[in-house]
Amino acid sequence: MERRKFIKGLTVASTGAVITVPLIQPSWANSPNETINIAVTGIRSRGKDHIRALAKIPNVNIVAICDIDQRQLPEAVAFVEKLTGKKPETETDFRKLIERKDIDAVSLATPNHWHALQTIWACQAGKDVYVEKPVSHTIEEGRKMVEAARKYNRVVQTGTQARSHTATIKAMKFMNDDGLGKIFMARGLCLKPRGSIGHVKNSEIPEGVDWNTFLGPAPYRPFNENRFHYKWHWFWDTGCGDLGNQGIHQADIARWALGKLTHPVRIKGTGNFFIWDSDQETPNMQQLEFEYEDGSILQFEVRGLGTNEEAGIRIGDLIYGSKGWMSIDNEDVGNAKVFQSDIKIQPDGFSSYKENAGPVFASDDPATANSNVNHFTNFLDCVRTRNWQNLNADIMEGHLSTSLCHLGNIATRLKRSLNFNPNAEQFVNDPEADSYLTKMYRAPFLLPEKV
C-alpha cells in the first residue's frame, strides 16, 4: 500500500474536536535560532537521557520537568541545573503542564500505557511531542495518535533513535542503492537475558507517589513495587514485554530495511514465560513471523534467558537480499557489516556458495555519532520549520513499528496464527483477536472517541 493512501485512511474530519486550540504565536516562530521551551515528563533513567541530549543542543530551554513521584524531583532539578545552568520548574500533573503558554513542546519518557493519552492531550493543547517507544499500548491508540498529530498540525517524533544514527542511515542508503539486491527477509533480535523480579507483596503507597495517576487508564490495583519503576514493563496493564521495550528498535529497523509502509497480513507467534518463578506476566521467549502482502518476511526473536549470539549479535538485525546479507549491531552503536554472496549452479547440478566481506558502516565523526542528540535535533528542527514530513521517525512510522509489537504479542497470547487487514486495522473474521486491539480505560483517563 502506498504511504499516502494509508495516511489518508487515518485522517479525521475537522469537526468533533475535544478542545479548541488557540492560535498561539510560539517563541521560536520568527527565527530558527530562537529558543524552544520544552518540558520533560518522566525523569528517571530514560528521562535523564532526554535531558542529557537536550542539554547538548543550542537554543533549547528545559523549562519544566514532571513526574508523579515527587521523590525524584530534587535530584532531577539539580541534574538539569548542572547541565544547563538553569533551574527548571516542577510539576506532578501532566495535564497542568500542558496548560502553560510558555511551553512549546514536551518529551515523554513515561510508561507505555500513558503515551497515547499524553500525546493526544499535548497535540490538543497546541504542543509538539517527542514520545518514547513503543508509542502506544494498543493499535487503536496508535491510530488516534496519528489522527491527533495530523488534525492539530503537530510535530510528533517517535523515540526510535536508530533512525537518526549515521551508521544505520548509511547502511539503509546502501540497501536502497541496491547494495544487497532485492531484500526478501529481515530478522530482528532481542537476545537480552533478564533476571527474575520474584514475588513482591502489595504495600502502602510511598509518600510522595501519586499512585492513582501512575496507573491512569489502567485498572486500579494496590501499590506493588513490582508494578512500579521499570518493572511495569513486565505486566500487560502497563507494558508490552521486551518485544515492546527493547525489541521495538530492532522491529523498526527490520521494517525500514524491508521498505514496508503498511502492516503485515499474516502473523505467527509462539512464546511463553520460562524458568523464573515470579510475578511477571509478559513472555521472556518469543518466536515471531510477520508476512506482508508481497510475501516478504519479517522475523523476530526475543530470548530473555541465557543464550548464544547470532552472527555475533545479541541486540540488532540481520537483513537478507539477493546479493548477500547485512548485520546491524545495536550494541556496537549501529555498526553494520555487509557479506556478499555468490551462489552458482555447477555442471553436476549442485550449488556452490562463496561469501566475501563487504563494506562496513560506522559513524565517521564521534561528534555526530550520538543518535539521541541527532534524533532530538531533527525533532526540534522540524518544530521550527513545521515540516513534520522531515522527521526521521514521524508518529506514523512509530505506529507501524509499534503495531508489529502489538500484533506479535497478540499472536503469542492467543497461541495461534492470525490474519490481519492492514486497511481496516482489524483481524480477518476474528472477534477474539480484535478484542486485543483496544482496552478498557479507567475514568477519567479515557481515550477520546474523536481526537
Q: State the burial class of residue 58 (Cβ atoms within 10 Å of its Cβ: 0-12, 13-18, 19+).
A: exposed
pLDDT at position 33: 59
> What is the dotted CATH code of the domain comprising 168-364+402-429?
3.30.360.10
Q: Strand, helix or coil at 281? A: coil
Does the structure show a pLDDT above 60 at 30? no
Task: Evaluate whether 188 touches 250 at the Cβ level (below 8 Å).
Answer: yes
Whether residue 353 has pLDDT greater than 80: no
At 364 the pLDDT is 64
Q: Residue 443: exposed, middle, or buried by beta-carbon count in 10 A (0-12, 13-18, 19+)? A: exposed
Whole-structure pTM value:
0.91
Residue located via cell numbers 493519552: 117
Give the list of residues 6+ apart from residue 323 with CB closer than 8 angstroms, or none: 178, 179, 180, 181, 340, 341
Query: pLDDT tens, 232-283?
Result: 999 999 999 999 999 999 999 999 999 999 999 999 999 999 999 999 999 9
Domain ranges in the chain are: 3-15+26-163+370-395, 168-364+402-429
- Which residue type is seen at 445? F
Strands (E), 292-373: 297-303, 315-321, 324-329, 335-345, 351-361
State the chain's mean pLDDT as an integer.
91
Q: Give 3-15+26-163+370-395's CATH code, choosing from 3.40.50.1360, 3.30.70.2190, 3.40.50.720, 1.10.150.120.
A: 3.40.50.720
User: What is the rounded CA–CA span in Å between residue 195 and residue 276?
Assistant: 8
pLDDT range class, residue 9, cuts 50, 70, 90 = very low
Per DSSP (E only), the strands in 50-159 are 60-66, 89-91, 105-108, 128-131, 156-158
> For 45-98, what is each residue's pLDDT tens digit?
999 999 999 999 999 999 999 999 999 999 999 999 999 999 999 999 999 999
* Residue 341 burial by Cβ neighbours in a 10 Å radius (0-12, 13-18, 19+): middle
pLDDT tens, 130-179?
999 999 999 999 999 999 999 999 999 999 999 999 999 999 999 999 99
Secondary-structure percent of the chain, ordered helix, strand, coil, rounded to 5: 35, 25, 45
Closest CA to 86 of 35, 129, 27: 35
